[in-house]
């Protein structure tokens, strides 16, 4: 799964440079690995650990949003914040469904999360195309 983060970081390098691509890869890798403490705490029922893990995960999401907004003004900071928060909230929802063995809810909620991830990808691609129109003629 961590290959996706490298691929996304590499995908922005032609537009934002090597350093930015590597920075995004690091942020996204931290984002994926940040899910582990959330899921571990949720599974064990440790509410204190879950709260801390979620705070850390949301902080990483904020860093990703700031990075994206700094790179491209088409990606408004508030929009990025909302997009990343929704992504985490939806991921937690379907993950908890799985932990509860509520597979019907998990399938439905994963579908919502998938649709949101597709929308995120479209918004990010649109932002790059607007910022670099000469590269898309």
Rounded to whole angstroms, how far apart are CA atoms 79 and 73? 11
Encode pLDDT of 27-78 as tens digits.
999 999 999 999 999 999 999 999 999 999 999 999 999 999 999 999 999 9
Whether the CA torsion 48, 59, 36, 115 is positive or negative: it is positive
Confidence band of 137 (pLDDT split at 50, 70, 90): confident
- Crossing angle of the two packed helices 47-71 and 35-44, in degrees rounded to 10: 160
Encode pLDDT of 70-120 as tens digits.
999 999 999 999 999 999 999 999 999 999 999 999 999 999 999 999 999
Provide the whole-model pTM. Answer: 0.91
Q: Which residues contact 64 (CB under 8 A, 6 or more apart)?
A: 24, 27, 28, 31, 80, 84
Rounded to whole angstroms, how far apart are CA atoms 61 and 46? 22
CA 132 to chain centre: 23
């Amino acid at each position: 799964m961590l290959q996706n983060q490298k691929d996304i970081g590499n995908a922005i390098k032609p537009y934002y440079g090597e350093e930015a691509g590597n920075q995004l890869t690091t942020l996204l890798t931290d984002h994926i690995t940040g899910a582990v403490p959330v899921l571990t705490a949720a599974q064990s029922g440790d509410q204190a650990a879950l709260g801390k893990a979620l705070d850390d995960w949301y902080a990483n999401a904020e860093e990703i949003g700031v990075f994206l907004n700094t790179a491209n003004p088409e990606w408004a900071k508030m929009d990025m914040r909302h997009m990343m928060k929704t992504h985490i909230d939806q991921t937690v929802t379907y993950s908890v469904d799985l932990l509860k063995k509520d597979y019907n809810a998990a399938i439905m909620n994963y579908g919502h999360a998938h649709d949101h991830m597709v929308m995120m990808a479209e918004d990010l691609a649109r932002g790059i195309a607007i910022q670099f129109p000469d590269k898309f003629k």
